[in-house]
Amino acid sequence: MHSRTIQRAVLVWGFLGALVSGSLQAAIIPAAPAIGASGYVLMDANSAKIIVEKNADERLPPASLTKLMTAYIVESEILSGRISLSDKTTISEKAWSWGGSKMFVEVNTQVSIEDLLRGLIIQSGNDAAIALAEHVAGSEEAFAGMMNQYAAAFGMVNTNYVNASGWPAPDHYSTARDLAILAQKIVTEHAGFYPMYAEREFTYNNITQSNRNSLLWRAPNVDGLKTGHTQEAGYCLVASATEDGMRLISVVMGASSEASREQESLKLLSYGFRYFTTKALYTAASPLNSSRVWAGMSDNVELGLSSDAIVTYPKGEDNALKAQLAINPVIKAPVAMGDVLGTLSVSLDGEVVLERQLVALADVPEAGFFKRIWDYILLFFFNLMN
C-alpha cells in the first residue's frame, strides 16, 4: 500500500481520540460454559458477532423454530403493503385439521392476519402457520418455496424448509447459526412487530394459552423469541435479551427437556453479558478522513461509512483495539457520493474483528479544463516524488 496512505490512516485514528492501542494486560475471561444441547450459538444482535458456538452448522430438525421464518415473511408482506393486519382469511380444511399445537381456529371461518400472527408466535399454532402460508402464497408448498428463497438471501446456507410449521419431514432442517441470523433479522428489521414475541398469553376462540417461552417470566431482560419441540428435534429455544444497551441472541437446539433448554439459554446469555461488551465505534455518514481529490471542483472529499461500525469484544480490552484507514492513494474526479475509496479495519490482538468500506460522503464533480490540466501536472510530480 502507498506509504502516504498508511500515514494518513494513523493520523486520523489519533485525531479522532477513539480507542488506541496500549500495553495494558489483556483481560482474563473464562471459557464458555458447557451447554447440554446438540448445537448452540450466542450472537450479539447489533454486531452479528458470534461469541459462543458449538456444532453451529450441523443440520438439525428445527421443530417450531421454523415459525420464525413464517412470521418474518408475513411481517415482510405487511410492511410491503401487500397484506395488512386487518385482512381476513378463510381457514381451510387442512389448516383446521392439522395436528400438534393449535390456536384452535374453526374451518371455513374468517380470521384476521393479526390474530393468526399472534396465534403463530405466542401459541405456536400449526393451524395458524398453515393458514398464513396459504393466505400469502396460495398453498403451504408455494410458501415453503418463499421460505427457502428468503433463507438463501440471508445466507442461511444449511437450511431447507418443507413446510411452514416445523412439522417433521426428512428434508426439513436448519442450524443454530442460521437461526441466529434469522432471529437477528426479526429483531433489527421488524422492530415494530417484535413486542409481540414478548406477549405472555393470547386468547382466541375463548381459549387462553400462555407463551411457551417461559424465560419471559424467569428473566426480566428476555423479550423473545420462540420455542420448539418434537421427539426428533428435542427441546429448542431461540431467545433474546438486553442488558446495558447490549442485545444478545441465544440459540439452543436439541436440549433434553423444557427446563434444560431454558437453563442452557440462560447460561449463554449470562456469559455474554458478564464478559463481553458491544460498542459503536463510528456512526454512518460521520467524516473519518478528508482526502485529496485531483482534477475536481473541490480539492478534498470527506470519507466515512455507509453503516455504523459496531464491535463486540471482551470487557476490559478497549485499549487493545487498533484501527487503520486504508485509503486509495490517488483519487480523481469525478467522485460520486457512495463511491468506495478505501477501508476501515479494526483489529484486536492481531485479529481483524471488523472491516468496513470507506465511501465518499459527497459528490466532487470534474473541474474545468485548465484546473484539470494544472492538477494533472501536480499529480505527475506527486507520483514522481512518492
Tell whether 146 and 93 lie within a shared domain: yes
Catalytic one among 67, 102, 267, 322?
A: 67
Tell whether 213 and 295 lie within a shared domain: no
- The gap from C-alpha 53 to its chain's centroid, in whole angstroms, comes to 16
Tell whether 262 and 332 lie within a shared domain: no
Of 21-25, 112-116, 239-243, minimum mean pLDDT range: 21-25
Tell whether 201 and 298 lie within a shared domain: no
Domain closes at, from 260, 278, 296 = 278
The reply to whether 153 falls in a domain is: yes
Catalytic one among 38, 76, 124, 165?
A: 124
The reply to whether 31 falls in a domain is: no
pLDDT one-digit tens code per residue, 171-181: 999 999 999 99
Q: Is 250 annotated as catalytic?
A: no
Q: Is 240 annotated as catalytic?
A: no
Domain closes at, from 259, 278, 297 = 278
Tell whether 306 and 182 lie within a shared domain: no
Whether this model's pTM surpasses 0.85? yes
d(CA 349, CA 288): 23
* Average pLDDT over the chain, rounded to an integer: 92
The predicted pLDDT at position 25 comes to 59
Q: Is 185 annotated as catalytic?
A: no
The reply to whether 357 falls in a domain is: yes
The reply to whether 34 falls in a domain is: no
Could you tell me whether strands 309-314 and 289-292 are parallel, antiparallel, or unpaired per DSSP bridges? unpaired
In which domain, by residue range, is 110 found?
45-278
Q: Are 234 and 247 in contact (CB under 8 A)?
A: no
Q: Is the dihedral of CA 139, 141, 142, 144 positive or negative?
A: positive
Q: What is the CATH number of the domain that holds 157?
A: 3.40.710.10
Catalytic one among 38, 47, 49, 64?
A: 64
The set of cell numbers assigned to 172 is: 426439513
pLDDT at 18 over 80: no
pLDDT classification of 26: cutoffs 50, 70, 90: low
Of 5-19, 46-60, 171-185, minimum mean pLDDT range: 5-19
Tell whether 131 and 228 lie within a shared domain: yes
pLDDT one-digit tens code per residue, 342-383: 999 999 988 999 999 999 999 999 999 988 899 888 888 888
The reply to whether 35 falls in a domain is: no
Q: What is the CATH number of the domain that holds 354?
A: 2.60.410.10
Tell whether 292 and 338 lie within a shared domain: yes
pLDDT at 112 over 50: yes
